[in-house]
Amino acid sequence: MTGAMSGIGKAVAQNLARQGAHVVLHGRDQARGEALVDSGRLPRLMCFVGGRV
């Protein structure tokens, strides 16, 4: 999912994860994405993939 680092995208990712989805996040800031994954704020979060689309 792109745009999941903040705002609506983050809220959607959290909601999907709470419903049992395995979420793969994408964003430009590798450190920020990995920090979100490591924080445990998104249940059942699979991974973060960094880069530009």
DSSP the chain: -BSTTSHHHHHHHHHHHHTT--EEEEES-HHHHHHHHHHT-STTEEEEEES--
Residue with more model confidence, 16 or 52: 16
Taking alpha carbons only, the member of 1, 49, 7 closest to residue 28 is 49
Model confidence pLDDT, tens digit, residues 24-50? 888 888 888 888 777 776 666 667 888
pLDDT at 45: 62
The pTM is what?
Answer: 0.68
pLDDT at 43: 65
C-beta of residue 47 within 8 angstroms of C-beta of residue 38? no
C-beta of residue 3 within 8 angstroms of C-beta of residue 28? no
Residue with more model confidence, 28 or 53: 28
Residue with more model confidence, 24 or 2: 24
Residue with more model confidence, 46 or 9: 9
Provide the token pair at 14.
């959290």
